[in-house]
Structure 1
Amino acid sequence: MTTLGAVYLPQFPPERLRSVARAADEAGLEELWLWEDCFLQGGIASMAATLGWTERLRVGVGLLPVPLRNVALTAMEMAALNRFFPGRAVVGIGHGVQSWMGQVGARVESPVTLLREYADALRALLSGERVTTKGRYVSLDGVRLDWPPAAPPPIFAGATGPRSLRLCGEIADGTIVTGGNSPDELRAARALVDEGRARRSTGAGDPHTTVVYVHAATGPSAAERLDGERRKWGYDTIEGRSIAGGAEQFAEAIQRWVEAGADTVVLQPTPDEPDLEGFVRFVAQEVRPLVP
């Protein structure tokens, strides 16, 4: 069954998150996703608060930029969240926007090498192993979590380029595909991820979840607001890259991304969405019943 979610953009004020999270939880939304964009909101702090304010909502962070965080710290945070809120915390890792990484002095020469080393170490730590490794970027000397999660949580990764998408298939349990990708572009990304999965030494046939963000707007100003997204991101067209209209139009469009390989479709409101609480209720109560 397709999973539906929504994004709480970091452009929205942090203090607004509580109201939106509670509205999503009460309406029955399956997932609420957060972003750790520089220099807006911290992903772990926002995730922990959201999980604490809600009862059943799954909360994702996509993505944590790995150059910003020591892998042992990320493992500690993920372990704690999964012990506090079993099965409700979904964490994705990625390269981070390179210009932002440069601003904070964390940019690396080979983001692909870092992400591979990081994911391998993170998986071992979350499995309760004592880890000693000395890679190009990740070095650990006998590190073991005292409080690992009861069961290792899935590790998601996200990227855009072909080499990095293959790496996501190879090292992660799920891949996060950014907004602005049409169904055909998602299909091409999935093929690259599958190439990476085929390279895995173990678990090549294990399930791999594909999460895709999709620009979305409803209401009388939907077309105008989505055209603003087109201008902002430099798309030649917003058609085929977004969803607009009422619940039936949303459900019909979501199916196109599902047929292209999405397991989870996360609807991304525009930064000028006038009613965030109404948006998550609309997705949960009006769109969800129409999506298989």
Structure 2
Amino acid sequence: MDHGQVTNLGAIYLPMNPPERLPEVARIADRAGLEQLWLWEDCFLNSGIAAASAALACTERLRVGIGLMPAPFRNVALAAMEIATLHRLFGDRPIAGIGHGVQEWMAQVGARAESPMTLLREYTTALRSLLHGEEVTTDGRYVHLDAVKLDWPPSSPPSLLIGATGPKTLQLAGELADGTILTAGTSPEGVRTAVTNIRPDARHDVVVFMMVETGPGAAERLAAQQEKSGGWGVAGDAAAIAEGVESIAAAGATTVVLQPTESNTPPPGEFVRFVAEEVRPLVG
């Protein structure tokens, strides 16, 4: 796998922003030429599928990622139906990411699994088969399907990504998924370690969320966010952020998605335009 060259650059629309503002931000991103806009399905802010559908419907070329949908939260057949519907409606522009979910949130909704790894393995295996148009019968520890087959599978099997942090989940992503999502705050060294665990082949996408801040007071806002959530990030102008992107790419990322802090400075529309028009031209 040839590392060091970012093939995609994106930005995140944080779910702390009102859902009704998303279509405007998506249109700005589309017009500015941003390659990818990513959304989260954090509890209990907004639905990843509904938000992605809205963003896709009001844009023409923008790819929209959901990073990520918690496997315990959604029946696998329903997840397959929703992902397949997005792909039937919008071609290859949707990007689906799944993962364990935040265990505290999963406990709040009565969905916490005793063995998250077992669930994710069963879930990913069944979901991939369903999205390939296969009939699935399985009776696992968590996933139970009896002759389930999508009537409207995607016209071609879509990529499926897994969000991962620990070594076992990273290895699972490398084994079963088409790509891996690494959370914001992952340093270049952390990316290198993750890639060693994933052992990706030439077709495996390594997506890294990268925490950034720009504009007056950027360093202070980034420091405040790091104090709250920890992790690595970059504050500064487009050149400084592009340098950070390239360091993440050199460590093994194929897609870098810039994540603003929760300060919303600059506002989401200005942020996606900044990524597309100022940072992207500086990234090799």
- Aligned pair partner of 1:272 in 263, 268, 273: 263
Taking the aligned partners of 2:264 and 2:219, their CA distance within structure 1 comes to 12
Aligned pairs (5 A) from 1:1-292: 1-2=5-6, 3-194=8-199, 205=201, 207-235=203-231, 241-274=232-265, 275-292=267-284
SS at match of 1:212: strand
Taking the aligned partners of 2:62 and 2:234, their CA distance within structure 1 comes to 23
Letter in 2 for 1:286: E
Taking the aligned partners of 1:166 and 1:246, their CA distance within structure 2 comes to 36
Letter in 1 for 2:157: P
- Residues 8 and 34, structure 1, Cα contact 8 Å, conserved in 2: yes
Taking the aligned partners of 1:252 and 1:214, their CA distance within structure 2 comes to 12
Letter in 1 for 2:270: G
- Residues 185 and 230, structure 2, Cα contact 8 Å, conserved in 1: no
User: Once the two structures are superposed, what CA deviation does each residue of 1:20-53 show, in whole Å capped at 9, x if it has no partner?
Assistant: 1111011000000000000111100000001011
After the TM superposition, list the runs of 4 or more consecutive aligned residues in structure 1 that deviate by more than 3 angstroms. none
Deviation of the 1:234 alpha carbon: 3.9
User: TM-score under structure 2 normalisation?
Assistant: 0.96
Letter in 2 for 1:93: I
- Residues 217 and 273, structure 1, Cα contact 8 Å, conserved in 2: no
Letter in 1 for 2:255: T
Deviation of the 1:180 alpha carbon: 0.6
Deviation of the 1:247 alpha carbon: 1.5
- Residues 67 and 97, structure 2, Cα contact 8 Å, conserved in 1: yes
Unaligned runs of 5+ in 2: none
User: TM-score under structure 1 normalisation?
Assistant: 0.93
Letter in 2 for 1:51: L
Taking the aligned partners of 1:284 and 1:243, their CA distance within structure 2 comes to 17
Change in CA separation of 1:56 and 1:120 when aligned onto 2, cut-off 3 Å: same
Taking the aligned partners of 2:153 and 2:226, their CA distance within structure 1 comes to 43
Letter in 1 for 2:65: G
- Residues 216 and 244, structure 1, Cα contact 8 Å, conserved in 2: yes
SS at match of 1:12: coil
For these two proteins, the number of residue pairs brought into alignment is: 278
Taking the aligned partners of 2:140 and 2:104, their CA distance within structure 1 comes to 24
SS at match of 1:137: coil
Letter in 2 for 1:147: W
SS at match of 2:152: coil
- Residues 88 and 154, structure 2, Cα contact 8 Å, conserved in 1: yes
- The percent identity for this pair of structures is 59
- Residues 213 and 219, structure 2, Cα contact 8 Å, conserved in 1: yes
Taking the aligned partners of 2:27 and 2:234, their CA distance within structure 1 comes to 24
Taking the aligned partners of 1:112 and 1:263, their CA distance within structure 2 comes to 25
SS at match of 1:223: helix
SS at match of 1:62: strand
Letter in 2 for 1:279: F
Deviation of the 1:231 alpha carbon: 1.1
Q: Which 10-residue stretch deviates more, 75-84 or 247-256?
A: 247-256
Taking the aligned partners of 1:112 and 1:119, their CA distance within structure 2 comes to 11
